[in-house]
């Protein structure tokens, strides 16, 4: 239950208790006097809001919070504010997610404040239904039904609904992607939510990066202050990866490719943001490229130097195709010394140097290296977070901070450890470490903040998209 609803419930109970206590007392004030009293209270509250709001707007933006303040909570309890909602469906390459957001407009500065959100995910991703687009659209109905549960029925008709597909659909042939989008449009046409021709689309990688960067900095309350206090956002999806930050050094703005620089208006401030999306460098797309090196087109049985020899037939499905993955034909073994009571162990391992060479060749020349990134605070999420938690680098519930070097060490350990339950951990961690070091040019000691949520809210480009739609329309 949100703080606003809690406050309203408490107020109602106090009122009920007061009426019972005074039920048998003579009424000392007429209804007219009581009405005047509440009118004066209301006028005083509005006046106070205007005064405080003027002062609040003069404060540094970095001191302002994305969350509900006391004044807004009181205003809502008095019926002076209403919630607004937005529903975003994130059609990613490995899964589809619905995020239903509830905001209110702050009386202090007129900006949107985030109250609640719904997050529900289903798998596989929409792109997996390329050969059956109707079924793919029908799966999204499950997500819309969940959104109906949290959005008041009276608000359905004015709540914007949008589906943005990411790298999964970008990687499909045009005719397959268009068929999927057409089926989703048919589904949305029957929805009670607010939609138009812009509600269903493949999202540009630039927007994905900008919206993710906005989400992280909005939730951390870093927007509107000094640019150098904003954080960089590294998003590793299934089909693509994004790097986004607001440069604070003149040399970055001078040396960066102009197509990577995007001027935006943010809370009445003009900011230039560096962002670029790399299609094919998402974790799953890269995994497929690395596994299929040297293989003929259409091969579904794959042997790889980046897979432990103990793996003799791991199934893996990507973009609707199921592969059988195995380690190399000629295995490598490492002798592990036993204790005084155990014999030496001959352990199958990945030839780490050969695996890294394959990955480096795939990444080489594809990624820009903004030097300023080494001196900035960085938040990395999505598959960065997932693999770090699965390997035990950070707590899955609280997240944590790791260095680029930590990912490199984890990759080495994973590649030396036979593990049939995590057959791709070696490959995935090796790719992440190569992407960070050789791709983005990050120094080994650079720290990465790895979190799935901030202040209880999902780190996702969807929040930035919802904010944009409520401010600018679908």
Residue 232 burial by Cβ neighbours in a 10 Å radius (0-12, 13-18, 19+)? buried
Q: How far apart are CA 240 and CA 278, in angstroms?
A: 5
Spatial contact of 99 and 458, defined as CB atoms under 8 Å apart: yes
Per-residue DSSP letter, 360: H
Spatial contact of 463 and 101, defined as CB atoms under 8 Å apart: yes
Q: How many residues does the chain have?
A: 474
Q: How far apart are CA 126 and CA 104, in angstroms?
A: 32
DSSP 122-159: ESS-GGGGTT-HHHHHHHHHHHHHHHHHHS-GGGGGGS
CA-based nearest residue to 117, from 463, 386, 397: 463
Q: Which one from 208, 305, 372, 458 is the annotated catalytic residue? A: 208
- The torsion angles phi and psi of 443, rounded to 5 degrees, stand at -70, 155
Q: How far apart are CA 88 and CA 99, in angstroms?
A: 5
Q: How far apart are CA 51 and CA 47, in angstroms?
A: 6
Per the annotation, the verdict on 458 as an active-site residue is no
Residues 6+ apart with CB under 8 A from 23: none
Residue 150 burial by Cβ neighbours in a 10 Å radius (0-12, 13-18, 19+)? middle
- The torsion angles phi and psi of 336, rounded to 5 degrees, stand at -105, 120
Residues marked as catalytic: 208
């Amino acid at each position: 239950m949100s703080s606003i609803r809690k406050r309203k419930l408490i107020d109602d109970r106090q009122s009920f208790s007061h009426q019972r206590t005074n039920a048998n007392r003579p009424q000392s004030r007429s209804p007219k006097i009581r009405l005047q009293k509440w009118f004066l209270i209301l006028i005083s509250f509005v006046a106070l809001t205007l005064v405080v709001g003027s002062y609040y707007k003069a404060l540094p933006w970095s001191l302002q919070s994305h969350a509900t303040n006391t004044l807004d909570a009181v205003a809502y309890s008095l019926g002076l504010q209403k919630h607004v909602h937005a529903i975003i469906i994130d059609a990613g390459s490995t899964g589809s997610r619905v995020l239903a957001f509830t905001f209110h407009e702050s009386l202090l500065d007129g900006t949107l404040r985030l109250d609640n959100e719904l997050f529900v995910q289903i798998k596989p991703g929409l792109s997996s239904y390329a050969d059956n687009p109707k079924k793919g659209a029908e799966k999204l109905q499950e997500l819309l039904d969940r959104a109906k549960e949290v959005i008041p029925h009276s608000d359905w008709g004015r709540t914007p609904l949008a589906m943005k597909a990411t790298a999964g659909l970008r990687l499909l042939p045009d005719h397959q992607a268009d068929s999927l989008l057409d089926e989703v449009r048919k589904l949305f046409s029957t929805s009670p939510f607010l939609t138009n021709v812009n509600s269903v689309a493949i999202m540009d990688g630039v927007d994905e990066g900008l919206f993710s960067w906005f989400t992280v900095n909005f939730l951390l309350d870093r927007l509107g202050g000094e640019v150098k206090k904003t954080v960089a956002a590294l998003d590793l999806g299934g089909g693509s990866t994004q790097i986004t930050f607001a440069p604070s050094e003149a040399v970055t703005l001078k040396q960066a490719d102009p197509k990577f620089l995007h001027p935006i208006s943010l809370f009445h401030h003009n900011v230039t943001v560096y962002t670029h999306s790399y299609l094919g460098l998402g974790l799953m797309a890269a995994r497929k490229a690395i596994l299929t090196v040297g293989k003929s087109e259409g091969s579904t049985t794959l042997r790889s130097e980046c897979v432990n020899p103990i793996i003799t037939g791991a199934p893996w499905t990507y973009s609707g195709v199921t592969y059988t993955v195995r380690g190399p034909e000629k295995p490598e073994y490492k002798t592990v010394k036993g204790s005084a009571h155990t014999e030496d162990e001959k352990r199958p391992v990945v030839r780490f140097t050969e695996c890294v060479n394959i990955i480096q060749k795939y990444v080489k020349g594809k990624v820009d290296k903004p030097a300023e990134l080494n001196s900035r605070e960085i938040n990395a999420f999505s598959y960065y977070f997932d693999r770090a938690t699965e390997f035990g680098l950070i707590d899955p519930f609280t997240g944590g901070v790791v260095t680029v070097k930590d990912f490199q060490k984890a990759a080495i350990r994973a590649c030396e450890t036979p593990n049939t339950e995590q057959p791709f951990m070696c490959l995935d961690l090796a790719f992440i470490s190569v992407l960070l070091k050789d791709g983005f040019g990050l120094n080994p000691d650079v720290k990465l903040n790895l979190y799935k949520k901030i202040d209880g809210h999902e780190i996702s480009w969807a929040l930035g998209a919802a904010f944009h739609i409520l401010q600018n329309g679908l």
